[in-house]
Amino acid sequence: MVQKVLIVDDSKLARMAVRRVLTGLHPSWVSKEAASADEALASIREDSPDFVLLDYNMPGKDGLALVIELRGLGAEIPVAVISANHQLEVVHRVQAAGATFIPKPLTEHALGDFLGGASASRGGTR
């Protein structure tokens, strides 16, 4: 079954890069983009994506704050926070909030591991 992925980043170029890696792994999957946490929340409420890939550093509400808000709303969507900031404190905060940390630059291997692990923990693809 086709999966839906929401890509969230304030940079259009970064969203394109994530989409390129995702398409390389799963050409038939559908992706939607959001340029901010607020756009992402609206999209999640409207579309119910199967996965969310989001940037850590965004103006306004950052990726970590978005994860915390999603979890507070009871959303169990698998979320990966993608960032060039590999500091252990950042990684631990992302994980404590209930998301997976993926370092930039994003690779097919890292994204594939996240998507595969998240699918397996949800009982496979829906």
**pTM for the predicted model, two decimal places:** 0.92
The predicted-structure confidence for 41-75, as pLDDT tens digits, reads as follows: 999 999 999 999 999 999 999 999 999 999 998 88
Three-state DSSP class for residue 11: coil
Q: Please report the pLDDT score of residue 1 as a whole number.
A: 76
Buried b (16+ CB within 10 A) or exposed e, 24-46: eebeebebbbbbbbeebbebbee
What is the C-alpha to C-alpha distance for residues 43 and 103, in angstroms, rounded to an integer? 24
Percent of the chain with pLDDT over 70: 96
Q: Please report the pLDDT score of residue 119 as a whole number.
A: 74
Q: Does domain 4-121 have CATH number 3.40.50.2300?
A: yes
Q: Please report the pLDDT score of residue 20 as a whole number.
A: 98
Domain ranges for the chain, please list them: 4-121
